Chain A
Amino acid sequence: MPWTVEKHRRSRLGRQVEEKEVQESISPPTDYRHIFPEFLPSPVWYKRDKLCEKLERRDMMRRRSALHIPEFYVGSILAVTVSDPHAPGKQNRFVGICIIREQQGLISKFTVRNVIDGEGVEIMYDMYNPTIQKIEVLKLEKRLDDELYYLRDAPKEYSTVPFDMWPVIHPKGTPVPVNTIKVKLNPKPWLERWERKQLKGIERPELREKFWIRAKALAEPWEKYDTMKIYRKSINDDDQKEIFRDVYQQQMELKRKKAEKARAMLRAKST
């Protein structure tokens, strides 16, 4: 389908420009959905606006051309370097495990957790914040859950990452390893009722029967069969293709501009 703006954006004065059919032939790599998850907009229907999304994607790609934001998942070990005007080296580096990735677009965030000197510290970073100087993935891996908030109620060993950790090389093209670790939680009291959350990355906690009975009563096992609910909570496949085609095009465009600039510099140097 040719790219069009929404009905409320169509001007009565202007004519609809016909998009060339060559759009269909451009096919981005299939793993873009995993590398660029924040490019997919919010699935809430009344927040969708294709023009705003396109402009936002352009801004995101321009930021990505300045800072390399690597592929990472919840459970990966990251090292984030932020500019700090008051620090001795004008930089501040924080290492830790990524516990969550949230929100879409330019406001997308991720939280990094570590235990330093026995104190648990979590820092939430804006992915497209200009004060971020470097994001390194020290260990690329996934976990069995999408959110690792239960690490706050687990022994500190599970959240500790040494600051001087050497990066673990991940050969390009190989699938991302899944860490199937089962975290043993501390005894209650907890910050949340983890037994009700159907978490796969924790060991079954030892609780009294009444907690399991209540968890079972509140559970909604039919949710995974509710296709309309899943459809409403996700972006349509056709829209996804359009979005990632646009992302791919913009990437190619930026690469081309960079190469052109480099050639122009060489020409200027030689003359």
Chain B
Amino acid sequence: MALWRSTVNTWSPLPKVCQFSTTSALQHIIKLTRLRVVDNSALGNAAELAGKPARCIHIYNKKGIGTIGDKILVAIRGQKQKAYILGVRQKQKPMVPRFDTNNIVLIDETGSPLGTRILVPVPSLLREKKGDFTKILALATKFV
């Protein structure tokens, strides 16, 4: 829809206000995003107690933005650890759950989780995601 614009040049003595175009908060999981560890691993608990949450330092996909089911590398308690994203704060497509916190579960090099239980609900769409989630889903108590 074309808006009618005035063709008259108006000169104003006041300086023009700089106009920036900014996006709203996108809630993306990118490098340096702080994440909540939701398993009962010792590393995760220690990080929470110390008040220094895990920070994402790499996302293993071409995009650089992590969503549910993506493998990432986090820096936690001064060490590097791989993790899977179990829930995001980002607005999702219909039928996909959205969580209030960005949840991750720590895994080792072979893909087996460090903890023995997952304390929050897990999206059931992980069952059909590519990647070995069977060991992680075995720890989950509630599916959403």
Q: Which residues of A contact B (CB under 8 A)?
A: 46, 82, 84-87, 92, 94, 109, 116-126, 129, 131, 152
Contacts and interface: CB of A to CB of B under 8 A. Distances in A.
Nearest to B87: A119
A126 B94 CA distance: 6
Interface in B108-128: 119-121, 124, 127-128
Contact of A123 (B96, B100, B142): B96
Contacts of A119: 38, 87, 99-101, 103, 120-121
**Interface on chain B toward A: helix, strand, loop, or mixed SS?**
loop
22 contacts: A82-B95, A87-B124, A92-B144, A109-B94, A116-B144, A117-B121, A117-B141, A119-B87, A119-B99, A119-B100, A119-B101, A119-B103, A119-B120, A121-B98, A121-B99, A121-B144, A122-B98, A123-B97, A123-B98, A124-B93, A126-B94, A131-B95
Contacts, number: 64
B45 interface: no
Given A116-B121, A117-B142, A123-B98, 15 more contacts: A86-B127, A92-B143, A92-B144, A116-B120, A118-B120, A119-B38, A119-B101, A121-B97, A121-B121, A122-B97, A123-B97, A123-B144, A124-B92, A124-B94, A129-B94
Interface string B72-102: 0000000000000001000011111111110
B59 to A, nearest CB: 22
B8 interface: no
Contacts of A118: 120
A123 B142 CA distance: 15
